[in-house]
Each structure stands twice: as structure tokens, then as C-alpha cells.
A and B are shown apart, each in its own frame.
Chain A
Amino acid sequence: MSELLPEGWELICGLEVHVELATKTKLFSGSPNRFGDEPNTNIDPVTLGLPGALPVLNEQAVELAMRIGLALNCTIQPCTFHRKNYFYPDMPKAYQISQYDQPLNIDGHLDLPGGVRIGVERAHLEEDTGKSTHIGGATGRIHGSEFSLIDFNRAGVPLVEIVSRPDIRTSEQARQYVSELRAILLAIGASDAKMEEGSMRCDANVSVHRVGEPFGTRCEIKNVNSIRALGRAIEYEARRQYDIIESGGTIRQETRHWDDAEGRTHTLRTKEDADDYRYFLEPDLVPLVPGDEWIARVRTNLPMLPAARRSRLATATGADVQGEAVSVIVERGQDDYVLSVGEAGGDVARALVYVQQAFAEEPPTPRVPSKDIAALTVMERDSKVTSTQAKTVLAEIVTNGGGDPAAIAAAKGFEAIDTSEVEGFVDQAIAADPDAWQKFCNGEQKAMGALVGMVMKASKGKADGKVVTAILNARRG
């Protein structure tokens, strides 16, 4: 951040993240909640806002929203639904049923992997709109289009809007917040949280100020469709605001649109154009009062969260808790599997690497029995196979859904070769290309590749690359 804003300036950011809940049916009707179906097939009188239709709250949606609240350390409270009134063609009733002054979840927090705590102001339930596609016109927006198509399959899909406090100070923290939130949502099964499919959407409120002075006027950035875009949009916006202030201007409170291709934001609407939503209590619904017993049951059924799982895995494997291997394995849900390799007598540190490299396409509980992986880690540790050979054996085990690594190694003619034998191959290589040896001795690391290559060729790949390197370095002195 130091190069983004000069010393003494600070970025202030709060995020509003919308996630579609992974329910069977919609928030207020029995139509399926399913992505990718034929347009306008998952509809009914409630979804279309037909005259006389009435909403009935989906219990599963409430339960998933409570899970989110508990995972984010929120307090669950008795709550109500309001109508947010505005006209838009893909909003069937011309109002959205949302939660206003009494949301379901309040006052939580999310700890970033680096330890920074970001407050969560609220996480409330609301319904999604339909999806408009504007045909013709240059911008793909409703203005200037020839006609518009509306798909109401998405209308009424349950959303939880998670509103952070303005505790985020860098674009990196914003990225971490969203990716940690995503990991939590996946872990608790609340949402598939795919930003590219729109089941997770993120708006950023950004302002800048001089440290010690009150917060600046904020702008809300919409249309941020990936975690990478989020970081870029925040950085662009902070710099834009700083430049305006530094050149004597003032920031106008407005909603801005992130254009990922152009790499900039531009005005969508100013505060003056903002709709007056005329919120009032939704008279078609009654207050939602989750009982203590229900809350306790949801809490009990909450799985171990990613942060706890990462720290468990890091402790067991000795890997960096903030490292890629640990976070990837936990995100895939394969940490239990890695640990089970240890329980089967294997080397968990090697298992972590194997699973990270070879199990990307595998489910959280891979088909390969953990004892097979355990056996392979032991073979590599004991130098029964080289790391290159181990990789080959591993690939075959994964393809076949299991197998005895010793038998596979034997069938492939993989066997341990003595260090003394490797020494002989090294002698031959130096003799064959003294020029390369000289260059290597002069500090040209490139030359080492040629020497190692010759040893590998002579040993038919059975020499361990690490051993060859060690011998060469030792010889050079």
C-alpha cells in the first residue's frame, strides 16, 4: 500500500457481500433454486409477484443464514422483514423483501489469516431479483438497448447480505476478507460462493483520509466480479479519490461502476439520484423469532471452520499456516485426508505436498486409500524411490484410485541406486563435458543443469536429483 497512498494517508474500506444460499427452493416459494435451467422455468405466482400471491418464509434459508451468522461470530436476534420499494423490470413486485432495522445476525467478526479482525455489522436475509439481459446498444445496459430479456429463475432466490464494518485498510485485506469468507461459506455448506456465476457478489465502500482526521466521503463500487478485480477496483478508487482531494476537489457520495477491461470506475448514480426506498414492515410476513433450542442445534452442527482447520493442519505438517499448501488443502476439504495419512503411518509433511499436487480433481474424501499414500511417503523418505519416481508412482495410484506403491515402483523398474553409483555417474559427466564443469565451478548455475541432465540420462532416471546436486556442490567445494 505504501506506493498507493503517500505517508499519512489511509484507505478505509467496508464490504457488502451478497451470497446466494444453497437451498432446495426459493426464499418465499416452492420453486427450485437452481442455476443454469431454461429461463423462466423455476417460477410460480409468488416468484412472478402475481396479484394475490403471498410469501412464505423458507425454513432452510433461515437455517443457512443462521449458520453464516454463527460462523461469523454474530448474535442471532428476533428479526423482521421490510419492503424495499423501487421499480425495475426484473423486480417482479416492484419491491424487494429484505431485512432493515432488525436483521437476523448482528455484531460479528471475521479474523483474517494474518490475524487482523474485521467487524461484521450484520448478515441479513433478502430475496434476489430476476436477471435482465439487454440486447442491442453499446453498453449492454438497459439505457440505449433495443429490448431486454428477463429470466425470473433467479427472482426470489435466497440471499444473505454480509456487511462488514469499515475496518479494512488495504486492498490485500479486502481480498483476504472475501477469500476467507468464501472459504467459510463453502465449509459450512451455505453457498457455492462462485463469484463468476454471481452466487457471490461483492460491493466495496471506499474512502480515503489523512490519518487522525475524520473518515472521508465514501463511494460504493459495484460490478466487482472476482477477488482480483476487487483489489484493483479498491486501489483505483482510493487513488482517484486521493488525486481529487490533493488537487483541491471534494469527493461526491455516489455509486460507481467498476469496468474491469478499462481498469477504472465511473459514476453509476449520485446520491441525489438515489431511490427513496420507502422501507416499511412487510405486512405479509410475521416476525422471525429463532428459539434458543434452534440456535443451539445449528451451533452444534456447525463444522470446524477453515481457520481452525488450517492451524490444525499446519501444526501436524509443520507447514506455514498462511502458506498456499495449507490453504489450498483446507479449501478443498482434504485436510482430514492428509491427517489420515499420518494416522496410517505416513509422513504428513510429504502427504501435504502429494495431495496438493495430485489431488486437485479429487473429492474431499479421495478414493485412494490413505495407507497407499502413507506407504509412498515412507518409500520416498527412506530413499527407496527418488522424488521424481515418487511423483510417477503417485500419478498412477491416483489414476487407478489406489495401489501398492512398492509393486508399482518395482513394475516400473524404479529402485534405489547407491550414492556411490551416483558418484560414478557424476565422474563420467565431468569427464564428458569439462567445459560445463569449469563454468559450474565459476559460478554459472545454468551449467549445473547440463551436468545433472547427463547424470540422469546415464542412470536412466534412477538417480535422485537432490543427491546429484548435493554431490556436485560438494565436489566444487
Chain B
Amino acid sequence: MANIPTTAAAIADAVRAKEMSATEVVEHHLGVIAQRDGDINAFNLVTADIARDAAKRVDAAIASGADVGVLAGVPIAIKDNMCTRGVPTTCSSNMLAGWKPPYDATVITTLNAAGAVMVGKTNLDEFAMGSSTENSAFGPTRNPLDTSRVPGGSSGGSAAAVAAGFAPVSLGSDTGGSIRQPAALCGVVGVKPTYGLVSRYGLVAFASSLDQIGPFATTVDDAALITEVIAGHDPKDSTSIPRPVPSLRAAAREGVQGMRIGRVTDLPEGAEPEVAARLDEAFAALEKAGARIVDVTLPSLSYALTAYYLIAPAEASSNLARYDGVRYGLRASAADTNAMYGATRAAGFGDEVKRRIMLGTYALSAGYYDAYYGKALKVRRLIADDFERAYAQADVVLMPTSPMVAFPFGDKVDDPMSMYLCDIYTIPTNLAGHPAMSVPFGTGAHGLPVGVQVLAPALGEVAMFRVGGALEAAGGAR
């Protein structure tokens, strides 16, 4: 068997150039999965047959000279909260165990058309609620770099799948950091695009105004490639942005000469010293590459976490109300309809999901709306205003992705507040609807990877990828 390249871009080039077949590529990755996923548990489901069929179709198309798309033969892992026609989509919840959607999410249709080969559905914190993938009903995913530690979450399975070489790229979803934080903890690149850049149609909703699909990859170039493919207007998603997608791969190679990089002088504290040190080194590296460092302030950032934990649960309490046992998924038996609702939801949801449903229901209740949800919306506005002022001075802003490196299992799962603090630097972006990416930049405690986060204004993906590319080129201290 040919030597299989590690990046999606190189695989697609090789397959299109007939240097290797899509079948060879997928067999390689299925082999790696078979060998190691027993330890990692990145996948809820490995779709080997579907992957082989897809690879065969790509090979047949290439043989017939047909256009096979820019991801020809590229294996990709899909977070198990994106609908795949006829393939179980569980959100790692007992509520949806075995549920097979009758339709594909728009991103799945797009990836299929581009020639990508789905190898499986990856594990997550139940309904994407968590920062460690420990909240999965089907057991946690382990960090491939240290299996005694979490991969982060909620897209821990997708991050681990790329870090473990199960697929060169994967898709995750990011509501408060669920792509960027596990990317940082697993030492891979993770991108949350601008809200509305990638269609949410078929993404099982957690918090609709915050959710956004994005890629994991081992390189900034691959992350740009996948973002380019999945971005674009979708008439099935009313919040999708109707405008063409710029070339992000080119941006990633462009360099940062003359760019203004924002350093937040009033950043909430809490990052481990090594994480803070890597961030300083990142600024230095960008300055050396020709960028200018400017100080900015984001005074409302300290309220972001609180606002997020009202807005996201409020939306979740409504989004998850449909799991009532009437039409699909789990149904517990009970004497009457109301009792059936209660029994079904008690049995189907895990503790964290229940906690957020309770929180969100309370925040929206008559008499409490103004004090909680209403106030959180005001904070959201203030944060957006803060960013607007910052982006008048800077093209991008740099922050840590996660305050800490990958932590051991059990460290935080029984203390929701400490778990919620994992997302202190990632949440503001979601509240503002902006893009951000995490790029591996050296290591921290225990030699574990550290991610640096590049934040940009809405539709500022070009600036973001320029800086991401430069950080990757500079490399971080290990």
C-alpha cells in the first residue's frame, strides 16, 4: 500500500492524480481505527461499509474521468449531532439512541458532493453540553496524547479522531468553545466560523443563536480547505449568510505583514502560567513576522460566562423540549401523556442536560425573564460593542483557547462551575457571532499541547487564517 499522506489536501491531490485509490486511503484509516479506537472511543459508530462504498464511488468516478470534487477520497469523521440519512445520529444521548434521521444535514450533502468519505460518527458530551466528553451516555473519549486525560469537549470525539490519525479531518460544532477547546487539548487546529457562514440545517440544535459547525484538522491549510467547502449560503437555514466564501487557503499562506494584532489588557485571569507564556510567545512570533501588537480592552468579557449560561440553557430548554417520546427516540411507558413526558425525559437525559434544561426554563419563566434572560441579552450586546471597539484598532485579537491543558478524568465533572470555566476564553466569540480558531502553539504542563486562539470580527475569516497560518509557521516552544 502506498504511503498515505497525513493531510486532507495531500490525500485529495494524490487520489485525483491516481497515485492512490480512495479505497486504499479509507482502508488505511479504517485499519488505524480498528487498531486504536478501542482505547480512545472517539467514535459512537464507525461507518466502515458506507465509507467503503463512498470510496468505491470516488474511485469509479475518477476512472470514468468525472469531476470528483476537492475532497476526493478524504476520510472525514462527523460529530454525532449532525444528521446522516439512515445512519444513527444520537447526540451521545440515550434519548436518541438508534434514531436514524430520514435526511442529511446540509454539510453532509456538501461533503459528499466534494468527494469526502465519512468514516464514522464521533462521540460528544450529550447534546454538546460539556467540555470534556465525559457527559456522553456511551462512555468518555480519551485524549490520544494521554489516555488518562480528557480530550476536551463537547466535540472531543472529533478532536481525538484527528489527533489519533483516524481521519485527517473531522467536523465538530461549537456553541461556547466546543471545537476550539478540544482542538487545543488534543493539539490540533479547530475553527469556529462566523455565525451563519456554515449551514446549521441538520445540526441537532443545542443553542440555536450560538451553534456553528466547523472543522478539525492537523494543519491550518486543511482547516481552511474544509471551511471553504462547507461554507456558503443555504436557503434551508434562514440565518445563513448569502455571500460568497473568500479563499482561505490563500489567506493562510499570505503572512501577517502590516497586520494589527490585539492584545487584551483586561483579559479575565485564570490561565495556567505555561498557557500565558505560550500566548506571549505567539505575540512575539507575529511581531517578528511583521505584525504590530496593539493593546485593546474588552471590559464586558468578565460577564460573558454568566450571560452564556443563561442564554445557551434558555435556548436549549426550548430546543430539547421536542424530545417528548411522542414521535421518535426513547419513549418510557406511563399511565398518561404528562407522566410519559416526565418518565421519558427522566430516563433519556443525563444530569448535565437536565441541569441546563432546568436553568434555561427558569431563566425564561414569567417573573424571572427580565432579571436573567433579558439581562443576559443586554450583556451579549455589550460584548459585541466591546469587540466592535477593539476591532476598530486591531484586525484580530489573540487569547488563550483554554485556560488549562488537558485535565485528568473526573477532575471537574462533579463540579459544574469549574467545568464551565474551561470555556471562559471561547464563549465571548459565540456571543458575538464572530469567527475564531485555535492553533496548536507549543506545550504546557506535562508536555501537553497548548492552543492559541485567534479571534476576528464577523466574516473576518481571511484575517483569522492569515494569523493562524503565521502561528503555525512560527511553531510553538515544546
Contact = CB atoms under 8 A, between A and B. Distances in A.
Interface of A: 45, 48-57, 83, 85, 87, 89, 92-95, 142-143, 148, 150, 276, 278-280, 283-286
Interface stretch (B137-145, B147-155, B179-187, B324-332): B324-332
A89 B324 CA distance: 8
Contact of A94 (B321, B338, B366): B321
A279 B366 CA distance: 9
A259 B182 CA distance: 60
Max count, chain A CB within 10 A of own CB: residue among B82, B96, B326, B364: B326
B105 A93 contact: no
B101 A51 contact: yes
Nearest to B201: A54
B96 A95 contact: no
Contacts of A53: 103, 201-202
A50 B102 contact: yes
A150 B89 CA distance: 25
A422 to B, nearest CB: 76
Contact of A54 (B91, B102, B237): B237
Nearest to B366: A276
Contacts of A93: 321-322
Max count, chain A CB within 10 A of own CB: residue among B91, B236, B361, B369: B236
Contact of B203 (A52, A87, A92, A280): A52
Given A89-B337, A278-B365, A49 B236 contact: no
Interface string B279-316: 00000000000000000000000000000000000110
A155 to B, nearest CB: 11
Interface in B424-476: none
A283 B208 contact: yes
B467 to A, nearest CB: 30
A303 B328 CA distance: 46
Contacts of A142: 337
B103 A95 contact: no
In the complex, the 8 A-B pairs of residues with the closest C-beta atoms, listed nearest first? A94-B321, A283-B209, A278-B364, A283-B208, A51-B204, A52-B202, A52-B83, A52-B204
A283 B83 CA distance: 20
Contacts of B322: 49, 51, 92-94
A85 B364 CA distance: 10
B452 to A, nearest CB: 30
B238 A55 contact: yes
A143 B335 CA distance: 11
Contacts of B336: 143
Contact of A50 (B101, B235, B361, B366): B101
A276 B365 contact: yes
Interface of B: 82-83, 89, 91, 96, 99, 101-103, 105, 200-205, 207-209, 235-239, 314-315, 317-318, 321-322, 324, 326-328, 336-338, 341, 361, 364-366, 369, 373
A284 B208 CA distance: 6
A56 B204 contact: no
26 contacts: A45-B101, A45-B102, A45-B103, A49-B327, A51-B89, A51-B99, A53-B202, A56-B235, A57-B238, A85-B318, A85-B364, A87-B338, A89-B324, A89-B337, A92-B322, A93-B322, A94-B321, A94-B322, A95-B321, A148-B337, A278-B364, A278-B369, A280-B314, A283-B239, A283-B315, A285-B239
B15 to A, nearest CB: 30
A85 B341 CA distance: 15
Dominant secondary structure of chain A at its interface with chain B: loop
Contacts of A48: 327
Contacts of B321: 85, 87, 93-95
B361 A278 contact: yes
B205 A52 contact: yes
Contact of A51 (B205, B235, B364, B373): B205
B201 A285 contact: no
B208 to A, nearest CB: 4
Contacts of B96: 51
Contacts of B314: 280
Given A52-B82, A54-B201, A283-B239, 8 more contacts: A51-B205, A52-B200, A55-B238, A87-B338, A95-B321, A142-B337, A278-B365, A280-B318
A57 B369 CA distance: 27
B77 to A, nearest CB: 18
B324 A87 contact: yes
A202 B353 CA distance: 39
Nearest to B373: A280
Contacts of A279: 364
Contact of B83 (A49, A51, A92, A286): A51
A286 B102 contact: no
A89 B338 CA distance: 10
Contacts of B91: 51
A57 B235 CA distance: 10
A276 B362 CA distance: 11
Contacts of B82: 52
A476 to B, nearest CB: 76
A453 to B, nearest CB: 68
B331 to A, nearest CB: 11
A358 B321 CA distance: 56
B191 to A, nearest CB: 21
Given A89-B337, A276-B366, A50 B237 contact: no
A93 to B, nearest CB: 5
Nearest to A284: B208
B238 A83 contact: no
B238 A286 contact: yes
A52 B201 contact: yes
Contacts of A283: 207-209, 239, 315
A390 B344 CA distance: 72
A280 B312 CA distance: 12
B337 A56 contact: no
